[in-house]
A and B are shown apart, each in its own frame.
Chain A
């Protein structure tokens, strides 16, 4: 017998449920907490330079997060989101990609962005919404994007990038490019309709996209246990007829290995693959959130022991590629460098008034030009009320 899709299906002659939890997807772990490998595990091929770049990127974003969260507390920036506990997830996956593979992220993927080469100045300019920000100071802090490094600008509405990634990857395929698109999203965003639409479109139209779910246990205050029932996100991919992998997201070697495999498969077979990475959002959801209202310190402590950076460091030290001493010096130097860059960026002017109406369309429509002219006349009348632009209207 075949189903309407012409796939052969087996038949039974007494009614029997297939259990909702029949499909259990195993989790790949390579690196133990002590930096040694699990029995039977093989470390992916990684040269020293790549391994150290991965490590440096993780350390960089950890220090950046710490520093910028403090800057938010001091009222220097309006908002921030850290990725504490998830550094291996985004850095390990980005490291497994080619430089021209597209990245479509959610907002907590600064690791991937930094790995691609987003500079400290670029981070700062976005966070301070100044005139050097590539996004022209239009989006809240952490909504980064850069065409040069194939990192699609972040959009706040959740899940919207998922079907877009399917379309982007399909276009890469039509253009004959040897590139894939990776699409990051949280386990919370995976509840949006766009998740289901995007996966199905990619599967049906054979788009070489890697769906990368960061399952970090929470969507703001909502625990994963109130987000979905069952084994997790990975098994959903199987429902759409696509391959799935699940990894320990604090194990950078496992994340790297899984993403490499997914990329190879996606490009070789023009098929989407889904990876679910299990880690923990150790920090607050954002600078506006206080997790003490919905989870215990004990729970946080338990996960704190599972530090992805410490684990990778032990492996690097064991290999003789890193010694603990340089590490401390690096972190100190980074703190200074970040603070210096922050002080520069916060003094850079805000975008000029013309950017109120630029980019709404390719060229401002007449009504917008008129509104801008009226606004300028108004500001000339009340310069004190509009200090950001009053002094530079022409």
Chain B
């Protein structure tokens, strides 16, 4: 075990993946010599050479298309999109190409080797172009897998599983936690299974579901609720697509209540999908309406960021609302 922050854990995962399989290639804007604007690919060019870790021209659609081509040939591109807010020029390559490569060719070809890594989320005074959480756009695209880690240990294991996975994965990294989240991480290779949620805390009155950077936020709310005698079960969804409805439903059947928290705006956010599925699976067990605590239906603000976000106080209030329904 070693103490690592999330960036170090990601860097370590990439290093191990490149050492294990020479088909793994890392590229993106400023990813080469400089090691990426957040330094996630630090020293990889030095270690594995310019052919396997390199800067690309400044074009996300080019990066995604290039990754599609490399993966179609059988390699494992791990392409970085510098900010999730800048993934949209690559939307066509990802949504119409990456996601449908296998399906449209009857499995003659596939681009399952791809991982798109991208920092997402707010809390860094980044305004609407450095704070977005676009997971729901991609969750609406059959053929993609979407993964979001909450801490360094999770980041390493989930990233290694994403690289090993035979399907294309979009791996969103909570940039707010890059340096802030520090934890014990095994130095050796390990994977955390995709598509499985994790119950991080057992409880009996209400299930609180979140992912990524919101896990720390809901934890704060849970501690407040516990002072009021409310026992919370906490789940990290980890994989947004495919998502682990069984684990969530089992918990809700036990607690009778569900609160979903995400950073992205409420309307069309992934919480809506979860709520619809869970109300069907758990209808007779529900004691109160499923609560959603999410970003407001506006672009991500700058000066009024504090007011906008799905913070611990709004979550705490929603927990009480649900329990006292």
Residue of B nearest to A136 (CB): B303
Residue of A nearest to B90 (CB): A193
A158 adjacent to B129 (CB under 8 Å): no
A360 adjacent to B298 (CB under 8 Å): yes
Would you give the shortest CB distance from B237 to chain A, in whole angstroms? 24
| Contact digits for B290-325, partner A, Cβ 8 Å, 1 yes 0 no | 000000111101111011100101100100000000
Given B58, B130, B301, which contacts A158 in the complex, CB threshold below 8 Å?
B58
How far is B36's CA from A289's CA once the two chains are assembled, in angstroms? 11
Quick check: is A194 within 8 A (CB to CB) of the other chain? yes
Given B58, B266, B303, which contacts A219 in the complex, CB threshold below 8 Å?
B58
- Assess A221 versus B30: contact at CB under 8 Å? Given A138-B128, A191-B58, A350-B303: yes
A138 adjacent to B301 (CB under 8 Å): yes
Within 8 A of A (CB), among B6-63: 29-30, 32-34, 37, 54-55, 57-62
| Contact digits for B58-94, partner A, Cβ 8 Å, 1 yes 0 no | 1111100000000000000000000001101100000
Chain B residues within an 8 Å CB radius of A351? 303-304
B125 adjacent to A140 (CB under 8 Å): yes
Given A129, A227, A356, which contacts B58 in the complex, CB threshold below 8 Å?
A227
A193 adjacent to B304 (CB under 8 Å): no
A129 adjacent to B303 (CB under 8 Å): yes
How far is B58's CA from A189's CA once the two chains are assembled, in angstroms? 6
Would you give the shortest CB distance from A210 to chain B, in whole angstroms? 21
Quick check: is A294 within 8 A (CB to CB) of the other chain? yes
Chain B residues within an 8 Å CB radius of A194? 89
Quick check: is B203 within 8 A (CB to CB) of the other chain? no
- Assess A360 versus B299: contact at CB under 8 Å? Given A139-B127, A355-B304, A388-B307: yes
B57 adjacent to A138 (CB under 8 Å): no
Size bracket of the B interface: 35 or more
Chain A residues within an 8 Å CB radius of B37? 220-221, 288-289
Q: Which of A83-91, A273-281, A367-375 contacts B (4 or more CB under 8 A)?
A: A367-375
How far is B296's CA from A130's CA once the two chains are assembled, in angstroms? 21
Size bracket of the A interface: 35 or more
Chain A residues within an 8 Å CB radius of B61? 192-193
Chain A residues within an 8 Å CB radius of B127? 138-140, 143, 156
Residue of A nearest to B39 (CB): A293
Quick check: is A249 within 8 A (CB to CB) of the other chain? no
Most chain A CB inside 10 Å of its own CB: which residue of B86, B267, B298: B298
B301 adjacent to A368 (CB under 8 Å): no
Quick check: is B183 within 8 A (CB to CB) of the other chain? no
A137 adjacent to B303 (CB under 8 Å): yes
Residue of B nearest to A219 (CB): B58
A139 adjacent to B308 (CB under 8 Å): no
How far is B267's CA from A381's CA once the two chains are assembled, in angstroms? 25
Residue of B nearest to A139 (CB): B127
Chain A residues within an 8 Å CB radius of B60? 192
Chain B residues within an 8 Å CB radius of A368? 296-298
Quick check: is A382 within 8 A (CB to CB) of the other chain? yes
Quick check: is B123 within 8 A (CB to CB) of the other chain? no
A356 adjacent to B55 (CB under 8 Å): no
Quick check: is A79 within 8 A (CB to CB) of the other chain? yes
Residue of B nearest to A186 (CB): B58
Chain A residues within an 8 Å CB radius of B272? none
B30 adjacent to A220 (CB under 8 Å): yes
B59 adjacent to A192 (CB under 8 Å): yes
Quick check: is B289 within 8 A (CB to CB) of the other chain? no
- Assess A388 versus B304: contact at CB under 8 Å? Given A157-B129, A219-B58, A221-B33: yes
How far is B62's CA from A189's CA once the two chains are assembled, in angstroms? 13
B301 adjacent to A157 (CB under 8 Å): no
Residue of B nearest to A285 (CB): B37
A191 adjacent to B130 (CB under 8 Å): no
Residue of A nearest to B298 (CB): A360
Chain B residues within an 8 Å CB radius of A356? 296, 298, 301, 304, 307-308
Would you give the shortest CB distance from A356 to chain B, in whole angstroms? 5
Quick check: is A389 within 8 A (CB to CB) of the other chain? yes
How far is B301's CA from A139's CA once the two chains are assembled, in angstroms? 8
How far is B266's CA from A357's CA once the two chains are assembled, in angstroms? 14
B58 adjacent to A222 (CB under 8 Å): yes
- Assess A389 versus B125: contact at CB under 8 Å? Given A221-B34, A222-B29: no
Chain A residues within an 8 Å CB radius of B62? 191, 193
Task: Identify the 5 closest CB pairs spanning chains A and B, nearest first.
Answer: A137-B303, A156-B129, A221-B34, A191-B57, A188-B58
29 A-B contacts, Cβ less than 8 Å apart? A79-B125, A137-B303, A138-B127, A138-B128, A138-B301, A140-B129, A143-B127, A156-B129, A188-B58, A192-B61, A193-B59, A193-B62, A221-B30, A221-B55, A222-B29, A222-B57, A222-B58, A226-B54, A350-B304, A353-B307, A356-B296, A356-B301, A356-B307, A360-B298, A360-B299, A368-B296, A378-B314, A388-B304, A388-B307
* Additional A-B contacts beyond A129-B303, A356-B304 (16; CB < 8 A): A137-B302, A140-B126, A140-B130, A156-B130, A157-B129, A188-B57, A191-B58, A192-B58, A220-B37, A221-B34, A227-B58, A289-B37, A365-B297, A375-B307, A382-B313, A388-B303
